[in-house]
Structure 1
Amino acid sequence: MVAEQITEHGLVDDPHLRRGARGYPLLPGGYGRSTYYTGRPSPYAVRGEGYRVWDDRGREHIDANNNFTSLIHGNAHPEIVEAAVRALSAGASWGIPNLDEWELAEQLMTRLPSLDQVRFTNSGTEAVMAAIRIARGSTGRDRVLVTDGGYHGTSDVALVPGGPSYTRGVPRGVIDDVTPIPLNDVSALHAAVEAAPAAYAAIILDLLPNRAGLLHITDEFVHSARELASRHGIVLIIDEVISLRLGYHGISGEYGIEPDLLTTGKTIGGGFPVGAVAGRGELMAEVDPTKPNSLPHGGTFSGNPVSMAAGAAALRLYPESEVLRLNALGEIVRSSVSARIAGTGWTVRGQGSLIRAVPEGVNKVDDATQHRLWWESYERGLLGSPANLLSLSTPMDKAVAVDLADRLADAVIAVSDKQD
């Protein structure tokens, strides 16, 4: 393990750090994403195949990070590689439309029968930004209602429900336009909307928020949001950037709820940058450039043929039978881990192919605890996200699920023992 040292610049020292002329690492803190950080110098991935990944320390791992849930088919799936290479060989991106966009649109809209149209973006963050703008443009209103613990990307509006540590640098006017309410508090939902129903452009819901520890949103809360939105002309946005994988019609289909707009990403890109906002035709008309006074929407690489071709292949490889199989593997992991960690003060949450171990009674886990569990998992050959969200991939079978469960349970028990 690389020893952690602090340099004269206050940065973690790591032999991989490449420094500029004035001594600073070329990447802030040595990281290309803040979300990579796990409290110590990180290993670097060097190769992935199926459900496995190898790092620069010579270690092989079960990859349950899967690039923050986006690799539904694991690493380097041959059909996805073939689709991406075919598109790349013909030209990585152009300034006119490409036919692969239509293929992915058809694949996606088949799964979302209550919605009519889709516009692609480069990320889930951009998809949520576009959805909010469509909602504001169509209603002529500004305010947005969100739930505490919901994560909707890194735009200014989306950062507000994260609290003070996330809103530093966000303008006061943006903060004032966002109303966070407690998760599953139906009374607070009604009170917030009915206090100013004509002020709200959108209600945004993440139906299985990871930031809240993968707590489920209740049926009553979801259907109350739908009823209030319909009654007051508010746009209901369901954020399925992560959760689309949980049902053939997404997690909103599992709830039997019809959103006005739905945002997604990750799974639909085959491992390449992607996001999407899908919606009812009358709302999506707001970004129809053939109509007068439409909202401009661009993005140099939005809908690029490589992401579209890889994404279409990924969805073809994820029919309902695979959704159900992967969800069943998730149930095996949760039940096995739950049995082994009983009495440790920890619990395991999630749904379908998403799993997360957290201390009992805790929604927001402190960074130190998350880092301890990440490293205990790493030492046992299991990679999750820095928040210890685990996602399964289709190359996994029951034997892998059982193995994964054992590694996770061992890591939780090790953290629990050290806390005692």
Structure 2
Amino acid sequence: MGLEKTWRWFGEKDGISLNELAQMGVEGVITALHHIPNGEVWPKEEILKVKHKIESHGMRWSVVESLPVSEGIKICSPDRERLIKNYQQSVRNLGECGVDTICYNFMPVLDWARTDLHYKLPNGGESMYFDFPTFVAFDVFVLKRKNASNDYSADLLEQAKQVYENMSESEAEELAYNIIVVTQGFIDGVIDGSVADPKKLFLEFIDRYKDIDKHQLRENLKRFLDDIIPVAEEAGVKMAIHPDDPPFPILGLPRIIGQMEDYEWLFKANKSLNNGITFCAGSLSARKENDLSQIIEKTRERIHFVHLRNTHLLENGSFYESGHLVGSQNMARLVFQLLLEQQRRYKDGKVNTHIPVRPDHGIRMLNDYQAKHNPGYPLIGRLKGLAELDGLMQGIEYLLPKQTV
């Protein structure tokens, strides 16, 4: 009874079909209604279309990733009440259609950040890299965010200056476009490729948070939880917040879900077990102080969804995605703990014992170079990760005491 093997699917525009997912041994599909604009209600008929299509291929719609939380909710804009009502109705509709888990995040403006989408690994594969000096160069010298230099040490600023001075103008523009548009456009980002001046609009979004610090953003999240969790309880839906990526402040924006103290605050803010988390090993591992094994142990009852991948951390805070098993984290230990938690739920007679897990991101390899996939989501690289994780789960289960299986 391993963790439920799932796969992120981007809908009909995805180059990987549901039929292919079924052939790969995928049990559950992770997807969203990507054609519904952010902030609008997800109609039941649209939910059921996708659900029935997935089920016709012998799989289930395991998790919604994601039902986007609009910027207006995060900053408590004048339009907040309408946006909250729409979100509540979408949660109700999903529950009535039998889709019981929603992954979401509360990251301001930018969901995730990498400075190199084509980082070459020693074996020839292609990964993604967050180089801290390069990101500072983007923030200070390319984006030219007001007072950005105040957020960094003199040493880091000097490194960033050297990086910037070695960039051509086209390289600087490509860096900005990748961070603002390419990594965000396919996951309901605030800016898409149709905008004439992405940097200008990006700065306007950032400026909306000028009076919102970590404390205030936490309060705004608590308001969201107070409005949504009671509806989720009634609808039989589990809410699973995704950690910040990377899990530390960037662009002068507060980040509030990135370490154990943040989870402690989250669970105190709303005590319902429906107020849960997406345990993302990749995101959390990018903060060297994080003990992922401890986080699993202390949050296990609230883990509703799992993303597994590994990272390799560098001394200056930079990191690159190193695959699924090999990296800075002991993936076998993490999977062992998750399997034990699932078995505990089974023995305790929980209604839903499954914990959906998906291979998060992947190394571009082999035929991935001939296909067009979203950044971080190649076919072969993720399939390799799925196979590795499946083998790891089966091996651990074989060694577990029989009474726990």
Q: State the TM-score, normalizing by the size of structure 2.
A: 0.28
Higher relative contact order (CA 8 A, sep 6+): 1
Q: TM-score, normalised by structure 1?
A: 0.28
Q: Determine which structure has more spread, i.e. the larger CA radius of gyration.
A: 1
